Amino acid sequence: MDAIIKELTNDFVQLARIALTGRQQDIQLLIHRASKKFKTLNPELAESLIALIKESPTRIAPLRKRAEPPLPVDLDSRLQLLRVEQGNLDSEPILSEDIKASLYQLLFERRNTQALFNHGLVPTKSVLFNGPPGVGKTMAAKWIAAKLNKPLLVLDLAAVMSSFLGRTGNNIRFVLDYAKNTDCILLLDELDAIAKRRDDSSEIGELKRLVTVLLQEIDDWPSTGILIAATNHPDLLDPAVWRRFEMVLKFNNPTIDQIEHQVSYLLKEHIVKVDEWSKILSFIFNGASFSEIERKINQLRKSVVVEGSSLEEKLEQLISSNDALSKEQKIELARILYDSGIVTQRRAQQLTGVARDTIRKNLKKV
């Protein structure tokens, strides 16, 4: 009896090894479930299956070896359907505490896959980022790839959307099949462009079928990889899309403290009293996205170089030309300016248009 069990154990492990040399995603869940079931009945078999999954053939990351298949291309335009982003980030992304906690959970799972396998579990394989443009969704995807030392493959929607709609579905399959068999992180940016609500009467049937194709591919995604999708328009997504993702994270516009942190990082090598200016500019930029703030500061720096002026002068011009603030906001800005010690009450009046008496009264209230 013991000999039979041992033989069956060897046969099952060999069968699993053969299956895993093909489409891993088709068999992995079955192997995980079997290892959990046999953990008590046959611990040796369970341990062998877990070890097999852990030691399955390593997939090669794109562009690292010449033997790697070329990136998929559109058959009509010959444009590459994916772009590859590699390398470390210049700085850590500025994230809210809840998003940071979720992303670290994702990393911890990937670094402890063996422990998960031992309990019949698999790491999170699909994540959906939603929020307005410029709030750090793409940066977060790059950060995950950098932390896991994997290339980030980004779907190029311009290339995927073929003039022949039937081929667009094929392009999506080409991209996802390639990423499934590559050691990478895949980012589907602007997901709403290809996963719109199927009850939208303005969309033709072929585009609706694309959503079905995408849903099937997400369901089939292997646990060995990570699929990240991002959207600026969550209201346009088909309801079935939300259920396909194991983790959904909402990105918002930065808070005052986050803006102050970003401005300090962008200006720390270019201006004195960076802490004071960061506090002032966090008030000015309140409500803007990270990308808008970076773009505006870079424009100011370019003006300084071209015109030969100082950055402080340009920042004061930015303050004086800000007409979007209400009367109450201008009073608060004048108080912050004077409290910073950068300008006098007279200069605070000139920059904001708030009378010096009003500034003094508000200083007393504070």
pLDDT of residue 26: 44
Given a cut of 50, the residues of the chain with pLDDT beneath it are 23, 25-26, 57-67, 202
pLDDT of residue 107: 95
pLDDT of residue 32: 62
pLDDT of residue 64: 45
Structural domains in the chain plus CATH codes: 2-54 (no CATH), 82-250 (3.40.50.300), 256-365 (no CATH)
pLDDT of residue 59: 45
pLDDT of residue 63: 46
pLDDT of residue 123: 93
pLDDT of residue 58: 44
pTM for this model (two decimals): 0.75
pLDDT of residue 9: 66
Distances, alpha carbon 318 to alpha carbons 190, 251, 299, in Å = 32, 28, 11
pLDDT of residue 11: 54
Sheet containing 152-155: which strands, arranged edge to edge?
Answer: 82-85, 152-155, 185-188, 226-231, 126-130, 247-250
Bridge partner list, 127: 228, 247
pLDDT of residue 60: 41
pLDDT of residue 228: 95
